[in-house]
Amino acid sequence: QVQLVESGGGSVQAGGSLRLSCAASGSTYSNYCMGWFRLAPGKEREGVARIRDDRSTGYADSVKGRFTIAKDNAKNTLYLQMNSLAPEDTGMYYCAADYCPFVPAGVSGTFPKSLERFYRYWGRGTQVTVSS
């Protein structure tokens, strides 16, 4: 089992940047697939970025070219670098994880909604607010 704690959220103006972190503990982190999700008021939860144990990544179309996901196995930490932020990026951002053999690979470079249900372990979230 994995425990996840997010940090790094905050308020920023449009065009700004933030870096989210997700500290993991409780299991062999390097074997886990990790993902960032966000939930905005009135919208469904959306997968934003994912990374597998082989470091292959996938992104939602809405963040491609602006967000970058990375993991540091030595520090058991997942990151999400968010650049060129826009008001529509506002929401609660959650880190999620599960053992990679349990998570389908999907199409490289993408983050389909169908993968969301394969992540069993979730953090409590960190709020990101982008003002225009």
108-127 pLDDT per residue, tens: 899 999 999 999 999 999 99
Average pLDDT over all residues of the chain: 95
Secondary structure (3-state) at 123: coil
What are the tokens at 88? 């529509």
Which distant-in-sequence residues (6+ apart) come within 8 Å of 36 by Cβ? 20, 22, 47, 48, 49, 50, 69, 78, 80, 93, 94, 95, 96
What is the structure's pLDDT at 29? 76
CB atoms within 10 A of CB 114: 10
pLDDT over threshold 90, residue 31: no
What is the structure's pLDDT at 65? 97
Find out whether 111 and 49 touch, Cβ atoms under 8 Å.
yes
pLDDT over threshold 90, residue 47: yes
Which distant-in-sequence residues (6+ apart) come within 8 Å of 74 by Cβ? none
Using CA atoms, how far residue 1 sits from 20, 40, 41, 110, 119, in Å, is 22, 27, 30, 26, 12
CA atoms within 13 A of residue 68's CA, in its CB half-sphere: 7
pLDDT over threshold 80, residue 27: no
Whole-number Å distance between alpha carbons of 3 and 87: 30
65-117 confidence digits (pLDDT tens): 999 999 998 999 999 999 999 999 999 999 999 999 999 998 989 999 999 99
